[in-house]
A = this chain, B = another copy of it.
Amino acid sequence: MRSAFYISDGTAITAEVFGHALLSLFTIEFNHVTVPFVETVEQAEEVVRKISESFRDTGERPLVFYTIVNTEIRKVVAKSVGINYNFLDQFVAPLEKVLGVPAKPEKHRTHSIHEKTYDIRIDAVNFALANDDGSNTKDYEQADIILVGVSRSGKTPTSLYLALQYGIKAANYPFTEDDMGDILKLPAVLRRFKHKLFGLTIEANRLHQIRSERRANSRYASLQQCRMELREVENLYRKEKIPCLNSTKYSIEEISAKILAQTGLQRRKY
C-alpha cells in the first residue's frame, strides 16, 4: 500500500486536512503516517529515511504533504524520494503581491496556544461540559445557543464541537418523558431563553438503532417510544417556531456548520 506522509514542525494538522481532502477524491487506500514537531535537521533526516524505507518496502513513491516554516528543515524534507506537496508555499509569493506586504512566517501559529481565541475555546468547552444534558440550567444567560432534542439526537457531541472549533458556548437540554406529560410543552427554564433555542431531530429508525446500542430491548430504545418522542418534539418546534435540523444524515461537523448558517450565530474563532 502506498504511504502518505504528513510532516510539519507544528502539529501537522494543516498538512493532514489538505492531504486528506485531496486523497479523499480517490478510492485508493493509503498507509497514513503523520510526523509532527520535526524541529531539527536530524529529525528531518530521520523522516527522509522513513520515506525512503517506505518506497523500498512498497515499490511506490510515498506522497509527502508538508508545511514547514524553518527553511533549513524544509530543504531536507524537500529532498526525500517522495512526491512532495509543499502546498502552502506556492501561494505565498502571489498573495504577498496581492496584499502588498511580505509574509512573516512564525512557527505553529494556526494551532497554537498563542492563537488569540484559544482561551475562549477552552472556556466554551468547560461551559459545554458544565451545561451538558440539562445538568445545569442556571447559566443559560451566558449561553450563545441552547440545543434541545430527545435523548441521543446528537446534542452533546454537537455542543462540544461548537465549543472546541468555534468557541461558541453551547448548552444542551434533553426533552424527557417528564417534560412530555400529555403533550410536550416548553419547560419554563427554556421559555425565558427561547431566542437561543435550536432543535435537533432525527429519524425514528436511526434513533431506535442508536438507543438499542446503549440499552437493547428497553422501552427507551423501542421504535414506538422513539416515534412518540420525536413526534412530540417536532410538534413543539413547529408550534413554538424553534429553528431545527434533522441530524440523521449529517456528521457533527455538518450539523455545526448548518446551525451556524441557519442561525447566523457568530463564531468566536476563525
Q: Which A residues are within 8 Å of any B CB, using their own CB?
A: 2, 10-14, 16-18, 20-22, 24-28, 32, 34-37, 61, 63, 67, 83, 85, 87-88, 91-92, 95, 98-99, 101, 103-105, 108-113, 115, 118, 122, 125-126, 129, 132, 156-157, 160-161, 164, 249-254, 256-258, 260-261, 270
> Would you call A125 and B24 a contact (CB within 8 A)?
no
Count of this chain's copies in the oligomeric assembly: 2
- For A104, give its contact among B25, B34, B108 (CB under 8 Å): B25
Q: Considering the chains assembled together, what is the distance between the CA atoms of A125 and B132 in angstroms?
A: 13
> Would you call A92 and B25 a contact (CB within 8 A)?
yes
Residues of B close to A10: CB separation below 8 A: 254
Further pairs besides A24-B110, A35-B261: 7, Cβ < 8 Å: A22-B91, A25-B92, A27-B101, A112-B250, A122-B252, A125-B156, A129-B156
> Would you call A37 and B257 a contact (CB within 8 A)?
yes
Least Cβ–Cβ distance between A104 and chain B, in angstroms:
6
> Would you call A257 and B13 a contact (CB within 8 A)?
yes
Least Cβ–Cβ distance between A165 and chain B, in angstroms:
8
